[in-house]
Amino acid sequence: MMPLAPDITQNTIVSVRDLEVRFQTSDRRATVKAVDGVNFDVRRGETFGIIGESGSGKTTIGRALVFLLKPSAGAIRHAGIDPLALPRKRFQSHRRDYQIIFQDPNAALNPRMTILSSVLEPLELARVGTGAEREWQAREALDRVGLPQDVGERYPHQLSGGQKQRVVIARALTLKPKLIVCDEVVAALDMSIRGDVLNLFADLQRELGLTYVFITHDLAVVSHISERIAVMYLGRFVELGPTERVSEHPLHPYTQALLSAEPRPLPSHLREGSRIMLQGEIPSPIDPPSGCRFRTRCAHAQPLCAEKTPEWRELHPDHWVACHFAEHPNFAPN
């Protein structure tokens, strides 16, 4: 186990150690190991990207990070604090500092409530200030995310998808969070407005000193916005490092395959002609492959890969990987 950062540097806002999240299947006959032993720290003020195919456990990590679900094992600390050890009332107020935004703004907004009422709701629940102060804060948040003045009096169905997602962001901002988990927040939006919403996230981060955990299956999105990225496969991290380093020198065959499937931007040895096709589907997290979980789809798999789980190793400063052969000189294709 990696030592838990004592937070002396004040640099760590979230520490995750040996995190496991399990679910029972609906017939209660089997256990889904959705997250199965993940370690990382999120640094204050950064954007930490998590990428991986659908079903790899990204949303489950996101929900655990803000304590929408309880870890089955392992530890999550918020700036050195164990939120689960707080008394109930303090736990409730603590949670306001750690928010999550999901993909579908329609699921987050009540169609029968005006935009202003939706944005006011968390302020009212938290009993912040007077009624007039709350309204001022809600309107300011709507203004900050670039929505027109009269939007507060409208209903969700009168807004575009991008506008609705801006409302959801405004609502998360009213409680002045320290960290926001953004789970596929632009996936449901038109290509044409994704850039605008991503730029909004970047602007808000600069203005408000926010930290983001940015979850996506889209490599272009994550590399656009993140300082560091973690690559997730079947409940585990397989690689973690500075975005530029991971995209230019991917160490794990899964990361290499993800990168080679991208039309741009590519490290030279992965450009056209050396596209690595990912074979088959992601296996079930109910009964994952022994040893290295990626071995059933890995072009470099050896007998050792079925026998032994690769260790999580810091192969270069700040660049972590879980593959037995990551330092092999002939490893990267071509």
Ligand X SMILES: Nc1ncnc2c1ncn2[C@@H]1O[C@H](COP(=O)(O)OP(=O)(O)O)[C@@H](O)[C@H]1O
Which residues of the shown chain bind ligand X in the complex (CB under 6 A)?
23, 32, 34, 52, 54-60, 285
* Site membership for ligand SF4, residue 233 (CB under 6 A): no
Q: Which of 225, 111, 123 is nearest to 172 (CA)?
A: 123
Residue type present at position 215:
I
Contact map string, positions 216 to 245, toward Mg ion, x by CB under 5 A: ------------------------------
Q: Which of 46, 292, 312, 320 contacts ligand SF4 by CB under 6 A?
A: 292
Please identify, using beta-carbon distances, which residue of 59 and 256 lies nearer to ligand SF4: 256
Query: Taking CB within 5 to 8 Å according to partner kind, which of ligand SF4, Mg ion, ligand X, none is near residue 310?
Result: ligand SF4
Minimum distance from residue 107 beta carbon to ligand X (Å)? 14
* Site membership for ligand SF4, residue 288 (CB under 6 A): no
**3-state secondary structure at position 269:** helix
β-pairing, 228-233 vs 47-51, is parallel
Please identify, using beta-carbon distances, which residue of 27 and 207 lies nearer to ligand X: 27
Please identify, using beta-carbon distances, which residue of 108 and 126 lies nearer to ligand X: 108
Identify whether the C-beta of residue 135 lies closer than 8 Å to the C-beta of residue 143: no
DSSP 143: H
Please identify, using beta-carbon distances, which residue of 27 and 311 lies nearer to ligand SF4: 311
Give the DSSP H/E element, type plus range, for residue 212.
Answer: strand 211-216
Q: Which of 115, 179, 102 is nearest to 145 (CA)?
A: 115
Query: Taking CB within 5 to 8 Å according to partner kind, which of ligand SF4, Mg ion, ligand X, none is near residue 55?
Result: ligand X
Minimum distance from residue 193 beta carbon to ligand X (Å)? 23
Ramachandran class of 37: left when φ > 0, alpha when ψ lies in -120 to 50, beta otherwise = left
Q: Which two tokens stand for residue 323?
A: 């593959």
Identify whether the C-beta of residue 322 lies closer than 8 Å to the C-beta of residue 253: no
Minimum distance from residue 264 beta carbon to ligand SF4 (Å)? 25
Residues 6+ apart with CB under 8 A from 262: 219, 220
CA distances from 144 to 24, 136, 167, 195 (A): 42, 12, 10, 17
* Site membership for Mg ion, residue 59 (CB under 5 A): yes
Query: Taking CB within 5 to 8 Å according to partner kind, which of Mg ion, ligand X, ligand SF4, none is near residue 298?
Result: ligand SF4
Sheet containing 47-51: order of strands: 98-101, 179-183, 211-216, 47-51, 228-233, 236-242, 319-321, 313-316
Residues numbered 293 to 312 that lie near ligand SF4 (CB under 6 A) are 294-295, 298, 300-302, 305, 310
Residues numbered 259 to 288 that lie near Mg ion (CB under 5 A) are none
Minimum distance from residue 178 beta carbon to ligand SF4 (Å)? 35
Minimum distance from residue 62 beta carbon to ligand X (Å)? 8
Query: Taking CB within 5 to 8 Å according to partner kind, which of ligand X, Mg ion, ligand SF4, none is near residue 21?
Result: none
Minimum distance from residue 24 beta carbon to ligand X (Å)? 7
How far is 284 from 129, CA to CA, in rounded Å? 49
How far is 318 from 40, CA to CA, in rounded Å? 11
Minimum distance from residue 311 beta carbon to ligand SF4 (Å)? 10
Query: Taking CB within 5 to 8 Å according to partner kind, which of Mg ion, ligand SF4, ligand X, none is near residue 52?
Result: ligand X
Residue type present at position 142:
L
* Site membership for ligand SF4, residue 325 (CB under 6 A): yes
Q: Which two tokens stand for residue 147?
A: 């929505």
Q: Which two tokens stand for residue 264?
A: 């741009």
How far is 248 from 254, CA to CA, in rounded Å? 14
Please give the residue ranges that form the binding site for Mg ion (CB under 5 A).
Answer: 59
Please give the residue ranges that form the binding site for ligand SF4 (CB under 6 A).
Answer: 252-253, 292, 294-295, 298, 300-302, 305, 310, 323-325
